[in-house]
Amino acid sequence: MAYWLVKSEPDAFSWDEQVANGVEPWTGVRNHQAKKNLAAMKAGDRAFFYHSNVQRAIVGVVEVVREGYPDPTAETDKWVCVDVKAIAPMPTPVTLAQIKAEPTLESLALVRQSRLSVCPVSAEHWQILCDMGGWQEPA
């Protein structure tokens, strides 16, 4: 299993909407590096759901349930999306300020490439962030 972080502006698409919709295509990514990251996602991978702009915090965890396919919102077929479903909210949202204050997370893509909307997360960083937010994998 690989780990990721996906960003959404909560006024455009929020965690609550993800939960309400169940499975949702992660569309609208128009950055080439983020597109490569989406294309690398596999069914069963986990991703942190991150509210950008307003809250700037990890607010939940989603699972990839459909691997990359052409983004139906794109004008050309060069962009991809994946389908994700909500697993559970982060018990305590982990803010960007907390992430930046944690020395062991200084190499996290969210910190190094702050504009990237889909980022890989190492297993080590995943566990640190889970611990910070009180997340435990559902039984």
pLDDT digits (tens, 9 = 90+) for 87-97: 999 999 999 99
Q: Which domains does the chain have, with CATH numbers?
A: 3-133 (3.10.590.10)
pLDDT tens figures, 93-111: 999 999 999 999 999 999 9
Smallest Cα–Cα separation from 8: which of 51, 41, 61, 57?
Answer: 51
Beta strands in the chain, from DSSP E residues, in sequence order:
3-8, 23-26, 46-51, 57-70, 80-95, 118-121
Backbone angles phi, psi at 4, to 5 degrees: -145, 170
